[in-house]
Copies of this chain bind each other. A is one copy, B any other.
Amino acid sequence: MTTRSVAAQTHVAQRRDVEAKAIQVGLIGLGTVGAGTFHVLQRNQAEIRGRAGRGIEIAMVAARNAERAKAYQAIVGDGLPCVGDAQQLVDNPDIDIVVELIGGIEPARTLVLKAIANGKHVVTANKALLALHGGEIFALAREKGVTVAFEAAVAGGIPIIKALREGLTANRIEWIAGIINGTTNFILSEMRGKGLDFATVLKEAQRLGYAESDPTFDIEGVDAAHKLTLMSAIAFGVPVQFGKAHVEGISSLQATDIKYAEQLGYRIKLLGITRRRENGIELRVHPTLIPASRLIANVEGAMNAVVVQADAVGTTLYYGKGAGAEPTASAVVADLVDVTRLATADPDHRVPHLAFQPDAMSDTPVLEMAEVHTAFYLRLVVADQPGVLSRITTILAEHDISIDAVLQRPGAGGTPSGGRAEGEGPTDLIILTHDTVEGRMNDALAKMQGLPTVLAPIVKLRKEELA
């Protein structure tokens, strides 16, 4: 084919698009998700157009990495402008929707705000940006009458934002509990399945590409807390307030506790939990024991799942891949279709960013962890002496905390023994409690920790029945 005929074809194709009024998308970022979005839009363009009623076309790309951008130009032809400076893209008057896929706070925040100020809709997968600056971004979007869509920011390709914001509109949502970080779920699955410790499995996860070289955001629960903050806002009609989330990761979790939990019929998962209580909203990420019979307890590897408890529908669960190029692209493109459909609609009739109309938002407070209701798993290393269990259970009783189960095992350092002779080495004492208020548990723990027969820092994990 001659250069000339290619140019002619491109021209015809361009004219046809104008006739069909294809919506013009500017793509910022050609990393994993950016490339995935590009591929999905190319490969499924006929189906996507058939659903959206209008073509969705990438009109411009902004990427720091010029080489990568060039590779994509080779696919779509030289017609696609690729710029190194994303500012040019958000200022381009031909762009209808800006897709932000660079992640992090800056320059993403500035670019998104500028795109909105320029009257463009925004689609983003940037949970950190929205969890920290969602208030500012949604307010400006409202003022400008544009939509900021963020399905890809939570649980990858699982349409959980849509389910919460549109599918469950009839309900008063009671709580959400989610496995919303694939890296940590992979690590926990491996620790349980192979009986390995955290550090060993983390290295394996990094080798396999399930964990980044600096895994802090994942393993310390920060990424999960970003996503939870967004779900909480949507579920309860409150502003995004990441700063008030309790964030606890899995880096100090020990294989011993995973084993004991299993013996008691539980699995340990890093859960993001948000729950409406009478006096406020719980917003917390931490390792959690859940009964092994629950469906979500059986979500293994890098998969994600979110359980939603709501008053009319009861329990629903949403499961799928929470990360990766194409699963995340699936959510980005679904948002592009939604925005394309609604671009012409009156802004007041679009789905509100945070599910509730701005004047229907509530200022229900986020509760301090000390006020949170939950059950506990405690592991105490105690001297194997008569009366130890009695002293500990008395302290719990004094704090009005009732016991669900007790398990006693020879300590990690000791030898198995049925005997009770004094000083025969430390014993592991595992206690499951019923629900209590965390502050009360902390008081009891301080007293227990002070006992001379308690030989090591007490391990405290939270336990949820999720029923």
State whether the Cβ of A420 lies closer than 8 Å to any Cβ in chain B: no
| A358 → chain B closest CB, angstroms | 10
List the B residue with the shortest CB-CB distance to A37: B170
Q: Does A326 lie within 8 Å of B341, measured CB to CB? A: no
B172 contacts A44, C-beta separation under 8 Å? yes
- A 405-432 to B, binary, CB cutoff 8 A, 1 in contact else 0: 0000000000000000000000000000
A158 at the interface (CB under 8 A from B): yes
The interface bits of chain A over 314-350 (1 if a CB of B lies within 8 angstroms of the residue's CB, else 0) are 1111111100101101111110111001111110111
Q: Is the CB of B330 within 8 A of A170?
A: yes
A21 → chain B closest CB, angstroms: 11
Q: Is the CB of A330 within 8 A of B349?
A: no
Distance of A319 Cα from B318 Cα, bound (Å): 7
Q: A292 → chain B, closest Cβ, in Å? A: 11
Closest to A359 in B: B50
- Quick one: given A159-B168, A163-B159, A351-B341, are A330 and B318 in contact (CB under 8 Å)? no
Size of the chain A interface, CB-CB below 8 angstroms: 70
Tell me, yes or no, whether A119 is within 8 Å of chain B by CB. Answer: no
B166 and A159 contact, CB distance less than 8 A:
yes
Contact indicator per residue, chain A 35-62, by CB within 8 Å of chain B (1) or not (0): 0100011011001111111000000000
Residues in B with CB closer than 8 Å to A52 are 169
B360 touches A51 (CB 8 A): yes
Chain B residues in 8 Å Cβ range of A51: 165, 169, 352, 355-357, 360
Give min CB distance, A99 to chain B, whole Å: 12
Contacts A44-B311, A163-B162, A315-B321; A169 near B334 (Cβ below 8 A) = yes
Q: Which residues of B contact A171 (CB under 8 A)?
A: 40, 44, 47, 330
- Tell me the complex Cα distance, A36–B344, Å: 35
What is the total number of copies of this protein in its complex?
Answer: 2
Q: A357 touches which one: B50, B151, B320 (CB < 8 A)?
A: B50
User: What B residues does A327 contact at CB under 8 A?
Assistant: 312-314
Q: Is A157 an interface residue (CB 8 A)?
A: yes
Partner of A329, one of B170, B237, B338, B346: B170
Output the nearest chain B residue to A51 by Cβ-Cβ distance. B169
Indicate whether A111 reaches chain B with its CB closer than 8 angstroms: no
Q: For A332, list chain B residues within 8 Å (CB).
A: 170
A149-175: CB near B (< 8 Å → 1, else 0) gives 001000011110011011111111000
Please measure, in the bound complex, the distance between the C-alpha atom of A315 and the C-alpha atom of B324, giving whole angstroms.
Answer: 13
Residues of B within 8 A of A330 (CB): 168, 170-171, 310, 312-313
A344 touches B344 (CB 8 A): no
A208 close to B (CB within 8 Å): no
Q: Is A299 an interface residue (CB 8 A)?
A: yes
Whether A295 is near chain B, meaning CB under 8 Å from some CB there, is yes
With the chains together, A318 CA to B295 CA distance in Å? 11
Output the least CB separation between A365 and chain B (Å): 18
What B residues does A351 contact at CB under 8 A?
A: 341
In the complex, the chain B residue whose C-beta lies closest to that of A351 is: B341
Say yes or no: is A298 at the interface (Cβ < 8 Å to chain B).
Answer: yes
Q: Which of A167, A314, A324, A348 has the most CB of B within 10 A?
A: A167
Residues of B close to A43: CB separation below 8 A: 172, 311
Instruction: Enumerate 19 A-B pairs (CB-CB under 8 Å) in ascending A order.
Output: A47-B237, A52-B169, A53-B348, A53-B357, A157-B312, A159-B167, A159-B316, A169-B337, A170-B332, A170-B336, A170-B337, A298-B298, A312-B329, A314-B324, A314-B326, A315-B319, A316-B319, A342-B345, A344-B346
Closest 3 CB pairs of A and B: A159-B167, A50-B360, A170-B333
